[in-house]
Structure 1
Amino acid sequence: MNLTKRMLLHGVTGLALASTTARARSAEAAEPKLGPAQTAKGPFEPTWSSLIEDYKAPDWFRDAKFGLWAHWGAQCVPEAGDWYARHMYIQGSDQYDFHAKTYGHPADNGFMEMYPRWTAEHFNPDELLDLYTAAGAKYFVAMANHHDNFDAYHSKFHDWNSVRVGPKKDLIGMWAKAARARGLKFGVSNHSAHAWHWFQTAYGYDPEGARHGERYDAFRLTKRDGKGKWWDGLDPQALYGGAVMPLPSGISTIEDANAWHEKHDRVWDENPPKENPAFVRQWYLRCKDLIDTYQPDLVYFDNFDLPLGQAGLDIAAHYYNASMQWHNGKLEAVINTKHLPAERRMAVIEDVERGLRRDIEPHPWQTDTCIGDWHYNRDRFTRKDYLPAETVIHRLCDIVSKNGNLLLSIPVRGDGTIDSEERRIVQDIGSWMSRFGEAIYGTRPWKIYGEGPTAVESGMFSEGKQKPFTPADIRFTTKGSILYAIILGRPLTDVVTIRALAGANIQRVAIVGSDTPLPFACDAQGLQVTVPSEDSHDFGIAFQIRGQNLV
């Protein structure tokens, strides 16, 4: 059953459906092979049971191990950190204060006024992708939209897009071309399924102060108000999502307003919004357009489970079937979602946001994290407190030893560049990967992930609790008959002991990338390897170990 029929059965009728079908009909003419509401045919049905039964993670993802990500949009223009578009409407927040001081009160100058300022004037995807390829990334992901409900591509179903507004460029198209020219797999991240509630703060007001009770810009602006202005012909309500659950009148303290927002408009589940059924239809059309137009190798959904109930299942089945059509019957598609129950981790690849795993996982998985705030924050640069390259490498090794991948975001400034500290970190990552990447790419877990004294915190958002790894921490990977042992730090002495290999029949040990065998001994205490100081590295080293019955 297609999505239109299913939505009719669930009561999405009249104006809610008509508001999106007119544009869908006009786009069908440009898509004669597959209309906007039609899905690709193939073995996958839009049910969890079908996705679980038929999906298998593609080898390219399991082999790639390391990807880089551009989490970039108009929220990077103020250079004030994450969730700017939401928090600038919450009186008492740092971003509200920054916005009022820098751009004016949000009743006068709301978030939509960031788009004329987001010109991406120095954006050079070729230069950035050269840097990221040199750093060892095997896939690249670009943010297609965030919770601020703006499409960074030539969207057929959403006028608030980067071709019409702001940069006036098809950013996803530019990223895709640059990534594929360098042999990278290309992915997109889609965060827009939560826009319907996340952006409701734009319909609020100051509960205190000289302008208390005066509603912010989203509450009063309509398409008619744009006549003669930069946004002439655009409807602010299509950007902000409509006043589904605005802050009720009469709240008179910041504390009470914050409590209301936390309880009512941070609806972090994946149920379709009963208050806004047209949003589901529009999300489906936009997401399908993104997939059909750019044919990504990976789609990251910033959701706990697939987004928006049945619509997410429809998209997943369509994407998998379409991928098989694009690749002559071979499934090459990856979907990432978060916080999945164990029984669904065979259907998509689970992502653990800013977190690690305690042990080897039976199914491929991914950590996504960032060296700073998700959206560019100049304070990070000023304080020099980005995640160091050494920490990135150590976490990558831990993740890979447990059957995972690392997707690392490098925050991009509004003008399309990264700062000098970010560039140095990316280059430092590349200095280690160029020497020891053989122990990462194309590997699979060993019988144990590793050894050492440092406990690993597990689960989403656990990385803040993670203690630094030490040279006594070792992680293992395998490739064919080779065992790799990765030391997480510069060895403190010229002899490294690997206790897990006590009594093993070792035949040869070498530094990864070197043809020269190293002196070693193996006894009941472990494998002892002598390492020349010139072969060491501040972040750690990787051994290539051969022996009988090791793997």
Structure 2
Amino acid sequence: MRHLLSLLLLSLVLAPCYTQTINQEKIENDQYEASWESLSAHNEAPEWFSDAKFGIYFHWGVYSVPAFYSEWYPFHMYRDGKVKQHHIKKYGELENFNYHDFVPMFKGKKFDAEEWAQLFQDAGAKFAGPCSQHHDGFAMWDSEVNPWNSADKGPKKDITGLLSKAVKKRDMKFIATFHHARNLQRHGGNPEKFATYHSHFAHVPGTATASKDAEIAKMYGNIPADEFNEYWFDQLKEVIDQYSPDIIWFDVWLRMIPLEYRQKFAAYYLNEAKKKNQEVIIAYKQAAIPKTVGVLDIEQGGKKDLSESVWLTDVTLSNKSWSYVEGQTYKTPEMVVRNMIDVWSKNGVVLLNVSPTADGVINQEQRDILKRVGKWMKKYSEAVYETRPYSIKGFGNAKAEEGKHGGQSATQKYTAKDARFLKSKDGKYLYLFVLGKPEPGSVISTKELGLHKYYPEEGIKKITLMGSNTECKWGFGDINFELTVPDAELDDIANVFRMELN
């Protein structure tokens, strides 16, 4: 009897451990199923993403060769308008010179993955990567699925592979962006819809867009929808298998891919990531997938107010287009950084686009801007990376301008009258960002911090101007918090005051 009691007691002691082991094995062995319910079990916005704040990618492809109008050159060249007129005048009639005829001209001889990755890191980016495929059907990786790829044609280099190695080597996360959901010709054989907006290439009889040649038809999306959907998925699978991106980002036309394929992709990506012990992100626009599965991206703008969930915005350094075009102009470092600060204060992350030339050069104008941005990011890194939003975004006079794709514009103009907040993850510091260069001796006054007067346990102990470590004078009026700007070296882009909290 005593022996039986001993065994019983031992089993009771070991039972919880055994059950825990079984449950842990079940969690580790479970596979995501191709359903939103199953896929929602993953953490759609891992902590590293909130910490990162800033990434860089680039629009570079066959469309960079004509360098005219925008990366939508192939869309417009088969439709009446100035791009088609330009094309015919410079290259000849469409029957004789089609979009794929630019491919041999896309050589990228000066492309240097290591140098680009270092440039992005020096600019302050924590993740980076290419536009792996735009709407035009040309894959920027070594593909067995897509015959139109950068390893076999054009540059004859595995652009995505080379960038992946260079970026990861620098302990940065790797992003691959996809716009190819729009590549399918969605006219359904109806001549009245040959130029439908949701097909990147118009179906023009007598040109390559209407070719029945199997290889050419793939580039122009002139294939049956069922075949295209498999083709869309197979290319994603290939990039996942070969390069293990930490973020896969989709343009807005993802919503036109059938639901079963979107779920099939997500399940495959997340299951592969689990095998590799990766915390990955699916970024989407509009309502292409549930917010419990991915991170929402708002193009060229951002949310107007503080968000409970982490979100993303893709913005471009250039003014005229996302790709390089002749006569391109660029934003100032001041505009880039100030708008990024606004995004961060609302729980957002920024993906900044640069525009290389066809031969693989990121020109000096863009480099100078990135260098200045990087200098600012390094100076105030403590207040940027691994921080979280405060209870309010900030205060100021700037009124949010409407963005073209929802939210507010990415070209909002801020001044030293505008300010934003971020807080350290451990809660020890509150950072006040002034979006400009205030005058020494001027007073920054806001009721937004006035309550600290009445909550000493959460109150402010000391305030210093970051960059100079100059201690600042501050206090409370009847309602407002008041901070006197010290007579010290101030930054032209934005200045940060570190508030040490109780």
TM range (shorter): 0.7 to 0.9
The residue identity in structure 2 corresponding to 1:302 is D
For 1:288, the equivalent position in structure 2 comes to: 237
Offset of residue 51 of structure 1:
2.2
Change (3 A) 1:159 1:201: closer
Could you say if the C-alpha distance between residues 41 and 62 of structure 1 is closer, same or farther in structure 2, counting changes exceeding 3 Å?
same
1:212-261: CA deviations, max 9, x gaps?
A: xxx323324636xxxxxxxxxxx21121121x6xxxxxxxxxxxxxxxxx
- Shift of residue 305, structure 1, vs aligned partner: 5.6
Q: Aligned pair in 2 of structure 1 residues 376, 139: CA closer, same or farther (>3 Å)?
A: same
Confirm whether residue 238 of structure 1 aligns to residue 226 of structure 2: no
Match in the other structure for 2:192:
none
Cα pair 2:182 2:253 within 8 Å, conserved:
no
Aligned AA (1:470) = T
Distance, in Å, in 1 between the alignment partners of 2:232 and 2:284 is 16
The normalised TM-score by structure 2 is 0.85
1:85 paired residue number: 74
Structure 2 counterpart SS, 1:54: coil
CA spacing shift, 1:88–1:64, aligned 2, 3 Å: same
1:222 corresponds to 2:184: no
Q: What letter corresponds to residue 89 of structure 1 in structure 2? A: Y
**What does residue 30 of structure 1 align with?**
none
Residues 199 and 240, structure 1, Cα contact 8 Å, conserved in 2? no
Cα deviations by residue, 1:473-530 (Å, 9 ceiling, x for unpaired) = 1100111221111001111453341412225232111122444422323333533333
Matched, 1:442 2:386: yes
Residue identity opposite 1:86 in structure 2: F
Q: 2:106 matched to which residue of 1? A: 118
Distance 1:73 1:544, change over 3 A: same
Indicate the residue corresponding to 2:174 in structure 1.
186
Q: Is the 8 A contact 2:133 2:140 kept in 1?
A: yes
> What's 1:14 paired with?
none
What is the alpha-carbon distance in structure 2 between the residues aligned to residue 44 and residue 457 of structure 1?
41
Give matches, 1:34-53, under 5 Å: 42-53=30-41
Aligned partner (choices 444, 468, 471) of residue 413 of structure 2: 468
Question: In the alignment, is residue 494 of structure 1 matched against residue 424 of structure 2?
Answer: no
Q: How many residues align?
A: 449
Matched with 1:271 is none
User: SS at the partner of 1:429?
Assistant: helix
Task: Give the drift of 1:90.
Answer: 1.2
Please give the alpha-carbon distance, in whole angstroms, between the structure 2 residues aligned to 1:458 and 1:62: 25
Task: Report the secondary structure of 1:528's partner residue.
Answer: strand
The alpha-carbon deviation at position 141 of structure 1 amounts to 2.5
Contact map agreement 2:380 2:467 (CA 8 A) in 1:
yes
Structure-2 separation of matches of 1:349 and 1:454? 27
* 1:150 Cα deviation after fit: 1.2
C-alpha distance in 2 between matches for 1:339 and 1:63: 24
* Alignment partners' CA distance in 2, 1:367 and 1:451: 21
1:315 is matched with 265
Describe the superposition over 1:392-433 as per-residue Cα deviations: whole angstroms up to 9, x where unpaired. 111111110111100000111111111121111111211211
Match of 1:512 among 466, 491, 496: 466
Equivalent residue number for residue 531 of structure 1: 485
Q: Letter of the aligned partner of 2:356 in structure 1?
A: V
**C-alpha distance in structure 1 between counterparts of 2:410 and 2:283, whole Å:** 24
1:417 matched to which residue of 2? 361
Aligned partner of residue 374 in structure 2, secondary structure: helix
**In structure 1, the residue corresponding to 2:350 is in which secondary structure?**
strand
| Structure 2: distance between partners of 1:91 and 1:166 | 28
Residues 153 and 171, structure 1, Cα contact 8 Å, conserved in 2? yes
* Cα 1:56–1:336 shift into 2, 3 Å: closer
Q: Which residue of 1 aligns with 2:225?
A: 276
The counterpart of 1:357, out of the listed 298, 303, 328, is 303
Alpha-carbon distance, 1:200 to partner: 5.9
Distance in 1 separating the partners of 2:488 and 2:117: 31
CA deviation vs aligned residue, 1:82-133 (integer Å, no higher than 9, x gap) = 31111111122x2212211222122210000110000001001211221211
CA contact (8 A) 2:284 2:297 kept: yes
1:463 is displaced (CA, Å) by: 5.0
Q: What residue in structure 1 maps to residue 326 of structure 2?
A: 378
Report what 2:24 is aligned to.
none
Q: Secondary structure at the match of 1:183?
A: coil
CA contact (8 A) 1:357 1:458 kept: no
Q: What is the alpha-carbon distance in structure 2 between the residues aligned to residue 443 and residue 536 of structure 1?
A: 22
SS in 1 for 2:438: coil
1:148 aligns with 2:102: no
Q: 1:96 to 1:536 in 2, by over 3 A?
A: same
Range with greater deviation from structure 2 (127-136 or 507-516): 507-516
In percent, how many aligned pairs have the same letter?
30
Tell me how far apart the structure 2 counterparts of residues 136 and 419 of structure 1 sit (CA, whole Å).
Answer: 18
Distance in 2, Cα, partners of 1:434 & 1:196: 43
Deviation of 1:136 after TM superposition, in Å, equals 0.5
Instruction: Report if the CA contact (8 A) 1:118-1:415 is conserved.
Output: yes
Amino acid at match of 1:288: K
Amino acid at match of 1:366: L
Task: Show the counterpart of 1:337.
Answer: 284
Structure 1 stretches lacking a partner, 5+ long: 1-39, 206-214, 224-234, 245-274
Whether 1:485 aligns to 2:465 is no
* C-alpha separation in 2, matches of 1:546 and 1:239: 57
Summarize deviations over 1:318-371 as a string: whole Å, max 9, x none: 1112111111xxx51011000138x92121000001121111111110000112
What is the distance in 2 between the residues matched to 1:290 and 1:425? 31
In structure 2, relative to structure 1, the CA distance for the partners of 1:200 and 1:470 (3 Å cut) is closer
**1:409 is aligned with what amino acid?**
N
Classify 1:498/1:82 alpha carbon distance in 2 versus 1 (closer, same or farther; 3 Å): farther
Cα distance, 1:304 vs structure 2:
5.3
The residue number in structure 2 matching 1:25 is none
Q: Deviations over 1:178-231 (max 9, x none)?
A: 1112111101001111100355645326xxxxxxxxx323324636xxxxxxxx
Say whether 1:433 aligns with 2:383.
no
Is 1:300 matched up with 2:216? no
Superposition CA RMSD, Å: 2.2
TM-score, normalised with respect to structure 1: 0.77
Rounded Cα–Cα distance in structure 2 between residues aligned with 1:105 and 1:445: 55
Asked if the contact 1:66–1:405 (Cα under 8 Å) also holds between the matched residues in 2, the reply is yes
The structure whose Rg is larger is 2
Q: What residue is the counterpart of 1:232 in the other structure?
A: none
Residues 302 and 409, structure 2, Cα contact 8 Å, conserved in 1: no
What amino acid sits opposite 1:450 in the alignment? G
- The answer to whether the 8 A contact 2:201-2:221 is kept is no
- Checking the alignment, whether the CA contact within 8 Å between 1:370 and 1:410 is kept in structure 2 is yes
1:283 positional shift: 1.1
Name the amino acid aligned to 1:85: P
